[in-house]
Structure 1
Amino acid sequence: MKNLSVKLGLLFFLIIFTLELFLFFFLHSSLVESRVEEELFSLQSRGDAHKDTLRTSFEADTIQHVALMEREASTDVIVTNLKGSVLASSLSLDMKKIISSGMKLQNGVVENDWENQPYIVTVSSIPNQGYVFMFQNTNSIQTLIDRLNNHFFITGLITAFLTIVIIILLSIALVRPLNKMKEATIQIKSGDFSISLPDIGNDELGKLAKTINLLASELKHLKQERSQFLANISHELKTPLTYLKGYADIVQRKELPIEEREKYLSIIQEEAKRINTLVEDLFELAKIDQYGFKMKKQPIHLSDFLAHLHHKFEPAFHHQSMRLHVEMPKENIIVNIDSARVEQILYNLLDNSLKYSQTATETTLKIWTNTNDLYISIVDNGSGIQEKDLPHIFKRFYRGTYSNHSSNVGSGLGLSIVKELVNAHNGDITVKSNAKTGTTFTIMLKGAVLNEKDTFSR
C-alpha cells in the first residue's frame, strides 16, 4: 500500500500543481495587464487635463508652466505644435520618433511596451493647435511587477507546501482503510473469518468495507456449515457401516443357525439400502448446491400430472391400509413447471406421510390457484411434528424426535432437498403441525399457472 499512497500522492500533486500553476499564471497575467492599463489610463487622464488647460490658453507661458509642473512629478510631458515641433518639454531626450508616431492619433496610447521600452507614452490632441505627449518611466512599472512577482513566488511556495501536506494527509486517510481491508482479506485467505472492519460511511470505501465484513460472515457461516455437514455425514455413515461390519462378521460364523443368518442378512440389506438412500440424497444436494441441474419447465396439464402421481402412489398407501385423496379444481389448468422436480418434491412429502401416519388414516393432496400462483398442500393425520422441531425441519441432517417411528427415520436430507427445489421454482413452502390433527405442508409456486394465450405463444 506504500506504493499506492506514493502513486496517489504524486498523481494528486501533479494534477493540483498543474491546476494551481495555470491559475497563478492566469492571475499574474491579469494583474499585470490590469496594472499597466491603470497606469496608461492615469497617464492619459493627466495628458487630457493638460490638453483642457492649453485649449483655452495655448500661450508660451502656459505651455512652459505645464512643462514645469511635470518636472516636479513622476511623469514627463512634451508639448508640440501641429507640425511636431517641440514647444516645451520636461524631458532632455529627443523623442522625434515617438512624436512622429503620436501625431497620427487624436487621443490614445502611443507606446505601451513596458518590458522593452524606457517609457510608456500617451497623446492628447489639442484641436487646431498641437499635441500633449505624456511619458512615464517604465522602471516604476517594472519595480511594481517585480514586487508582484516576489509575492506570487512566495505565495506559490506556501501553496505548494500546503498542497503537499494536504495531499499526504489525504493519501494517508485514503490508504489507511485500504490497508485494513488488505489485512482483512489476508486474514480471510488464511481461514480466519473473525474480522470486523469499522464503519467508515456510505461512500464507495464504506460499502467495500461492509461487503468484506459480510463476506467474512458468510464464509464463517459456510465453514461452520461445512464442518457440521462433514460431521453429520461421518455420523450418518458410521452407524450403518458399523452394523454392516458387525453383522457381516456374525453371518460368517459357520455354526450360526439359518434363521438367525437370514435375520442378520435382512438387517445388512436394510442398512445397505439406508446408505444408498443417504448417498443418493447427498448427490442430489451436491447437484443443487453446484447448480449442476437445470430447471426444465414446460407447460403441462395439471390434471394429467396429478392422475399419474395418484396412480403411482396409491398402491403404497393401499399397502399400508391408508388412503390418498386428491382435490383439485374442475377446470383444466395448465402449469409451467419442471414436472420431474415437482414429482420429486411431492414424493418426499408423501413418503413422510406414509412413514409418520397411522394405518386407516387419510392423506389429502389439495391443489388450488390464486391468479397465476399455484398452491399445493399435503395434509395428513399423522403423529405431527413437535413444536420445538418446526423451525429446524428444513435444515440438513436435522431430525426431530419420533419415538413411535424410530425405525422409519430417514437421512434428514429429504426436506432440505424439497426446500431447495421449491426455491428453484421461485416458490415457498410452509408447514403447520399438531400432535392431534397431523401435519400440513403448503407449497406456493409463483407464476406457475398459465392462461390460454401464454400456452398458445409457447
Structure 2
Amino acid sequence: MKTIFHKFAFIYILIFLISFILIIIGVRSVLDYYFVSNESDLITQRAQNFEKIVNSKYVNSISLDLLQEQIMLLDGYTGANIWLFTEEGAFYSTSNSTYDMQLGKYPYLADDIKSVFEGRETSREVLYEGISQDRVLRVGYPFHVGDKIYAMFINVPMPELEDTISKVSVIIFISLSISGFLAVTLIFMITRRMGHEIKVINDAAKFIAQGNFEKKIIINRKDELGELAESFNAMAAELNKQENTKRMFISSLSHDLRTPLTTIKGYTHGMLDGTIEADKQERYLKIVSTESDRLIKMINDLLDLSKMESGALILNKTDFDMNDVIVNVLDSFEQKIIDKRIKLTIDLTKEKILAHGDMASIQRVIYNLMDNATKFVNMDGEISIRTELKNDKFYVGISNSGNVLSPKELSVIWDRFTKLDKSRGLEKKSSGLGLSIVKEIVKAHHEKIEVYSNEDIGVAFIFTVATQIFK
C-alpha cells in the first residue's frame, strides 16, 4: 500500500532533484558570465593602462617596430596573444605561430575590426578552427597613440577561465549536495513522523467507529495536524457526551413512561377485579386520566423537539402584545403560586410596541420557563418577570430564588432529560424536555437566550424577541 509517507517522500525528493539540477545549471551560467565578464573588464583595464604608459613616453607618435616591442611587454604581462591591426591593413602578432590572416576564417573578426576602428570595445568567445582546439576570449580595444589608432585584439585562452569556473562549480556542487542530503534526511524524518501521527489518528477513528468514544489522541504539535488531533478529541468527547445523554434519555424515558403506566395499570386492574370499590372508582379514573394526559404531553414534547431539531418547525410569525401573552401564561400558574406562597414581582415595559414572532411558540417558551421557576423556587420564595425594550429587541427575563446552580450544571441545563433536582419529588414531575424545547424555539426565531445563577438572583433566564419595528 502506498502510504502518505511514501508519496510525500517521493514528491519532496523529486522537487529537490529538479531544483538541484536547475540551481547547478543556473549557477554555472552565472559563473560563466561573471568570470568572462570580469576577465574581459580586467583585460580592457590593462590595455587602457598600457595605452597611458605608451602615450606618456611617446607624445606624438611611435614607429610600428617600437610599438611592437612595447606590445611584447604587454603580452608577457597578460600571458595572452595580442594582435595589432593598422588602418592601412598591416598586421602584427606577438605569437610565434604563423597566422594566415584571411579575415573570413576568423569568426566575426572583420566586424570586430570595423567596430574597434570606430572607437568601440568588443568582447567575444570564439573558436579558431584549425588553429586551436580551445575556445578563446577575444577582447578588442581601440589603441590610440597620439592621433593614430590601432585595432588591438587580446586573445586569452579559455581553459584557464574554465578551470577556475569548474573549481568553483565543484565547491558549490559539494555544498549543495551536503545541504541536499541534510534536507532530504530531515524531510524523511518529518514525513515519517507525520505519517505515523496520521496513522494514530486513523486508528483512533476506527476505534471510535466501534463505539469506543473515550479514545483520545496525544499529539504534541502546534500546527494543523495538532489542531486536527484537538478537533478529533473534541469530537470524541462530544460523541461520548451524546452517548451518555442517549443512555440517560433511555433511562429517564423508561422511568417517566413506566411510572404513569404502572399507575394506570394498577388502578385499571383494581377496578376490573373489584379491589377498588365502585364509589371510589371515579376518583381513581381521574388519576388515570391525569396520568394519560401526562403521557400524551411527554410524547408530544418528544415529537415537537425532534421536529425542531431537524429544522422542520414552521413558524407563523405575526405581531402580538408581549405583555398580554405573559399575563395569560401567569393565569395558568395562579394556584401553584398560592400553594408555595410565592412573592411574584412583575415589571413590564410601558412601551406600546408589539413583538414579532410565532405567538404560540413564544407563549410556550414563557410557559416552560414559568413552569421551571415554580417547580424549583423555594417555599415562600420569589419569582420575578421583567420585560425591557432595548436596541429594537424585547428582553424577557424570568428568575426565581432557590438553589444556586454550579457552572457544570449550567453547561448541561439545555440538554434533554436534564433534571438538576435529583430528588424527583412529586411536585417536580416533568419530562425533562421543557428547557430543550425553549432553546430550540428561540434558536428557530434567530434570537438568543442566556441563563445566569448566583446568590443574588437565584436562577434567571433572559431571552430576546424581535419587535414590530425590526421584523
Q: Do the two structures share a fold, i.e. TM-score over 0.5?
A: yes
Is residue 67 from structure 1 mapped to residue 65 from structure 2 by the alignment? no
Aligned-pair CA distance for 1:152? 4.8
Aligned-pair CA distance for 1:147? 3.8
- Aligned partner of 1:398 in structure 2 is 419
- Look up the equivalent residue of 1:339 and give its one-letter code: M
Deviations 1:218-250 (A, max 9, x none): 111111111111111112222333333444444
- Look up the equivalent residue of 2:126 and give its one-letter code: D
- Look up the equivalent residue of 2:419 and give its one-letter code: Y
- Look up the equivalent residue of 2:37 and give its one-letter code: E
Is residue 426 from structure 1 mapped to residue 448 from structure 2 by the alignment? yes
- Aligned partner of 1:182 in structure 2 is 202
- Aligned partner of 2:239 in structure 1 is 219
Q: Is the 8 A contact 2:394 2:465 kept in 1?
A: yes
Is residue 235 from structure 1 mapped to residue 255 from structure 2 by the alignment? yes
Quick one: distance in 1 between partners of 2:377 and 2:39? 109
TM-score by length of 1: 0.75
Q: Pairwise mapping of residues 85-234 of structure 1 onto structure 2 (< 5 A)?
A: 85-87=90-92, 89-96=94-101, 97=103, 103-104=113-114, 105-106=116-117, 108-109=121-122, 111-113=124-126, 118-124=135-141, 125-127=143-145, 128=148, 130-198=150-218, 200-234=220-254
Deviations 1:54-78 (A, max 9, x none): 5524363562464377469732234
Deviations 1:245-285 (A, max 9, x none): 44444433268743465565454434333322322232233
Root-mean-square deviation (Å):
4.6
SS of the counterpart of 1:94? coil
Quick one: distance in 2 between partners of 1:213 and 1:295? 37
User: Which segment is superposed worse, 342-351 or 384-393?
Assistant: 384-393
Quick one: distance in 2 between partners of 1:66 and 1:197? 83
User: Which segment is superposed worse, 24-33 or 317-326?
Assistant: 317-326
User: Which segment is superposed worse, 225-234 or 344-353?
Assistant: 344-353
Aligned-pair CA distance for 1:447? 5.4
Q: Is the 8 A contact 1:243 1:268 kept in 2?
A: yes
Quick one: distance in 1 between partners of 2:376 and 2:168? 98
Q: Is the 8 A contact 2:402 2:459 kept in 1?
A: no
Deviations 1:146-165 (A, max 9, x none): 44454455445444433422
Aligned-pair CA distance for 1:38? 2.7
Aligned-pair CA distance for 1:13? 3.5
CA 1:68–1:181: 2 relative to 1, 3 Å: same
SS of the counterpart of 1:113? strand
Q: Is the 8 A contact 1:47 1:122 kept in 2?
A: no
Quick one: distance in 1 between partners of 2:337 and 2:173? 102
Quick one: distance in 1 between partners of 2:402 and 2:254? 26
User: Which segment is superposed worse, 4-13 or 217-226?
Assistant: 4-13
What is the aligned counterpart of 2:303 among 272, 283, 294?
283
Structure 1, gaps ≥5 residues long: none
CA 1:357–1:259: 2 relative to 1, 3 Å: farther
CA 1:115–1:142: 2 relative to 1, 3 Å: farther
Percent of residue pairs bearing the same amino acid type? 20
Quick one: distance in 1 between partners of 2:309 and 2:222? 33
SS of the counterpart of 1:185? helix
Deviations 1:347-385 (A, max 9, x none): 345557888999xx99988443243453556689xxx75
TM-score by length of 2: 0.74
SS of the counterpart of 2:121? strand
SS of the counterpart of 2:126? coil
Structure 2, gaps ≥5 residues long: none
Aligned-pair CA distance for 1:33? 1.4
> Alignment length, in residue pairs?
443
- Look up the equivalent residue of 1:10 and give its one-letter code: F
Q: Is the 8 A contact 1:303 1:333 kept in 2?
A: no
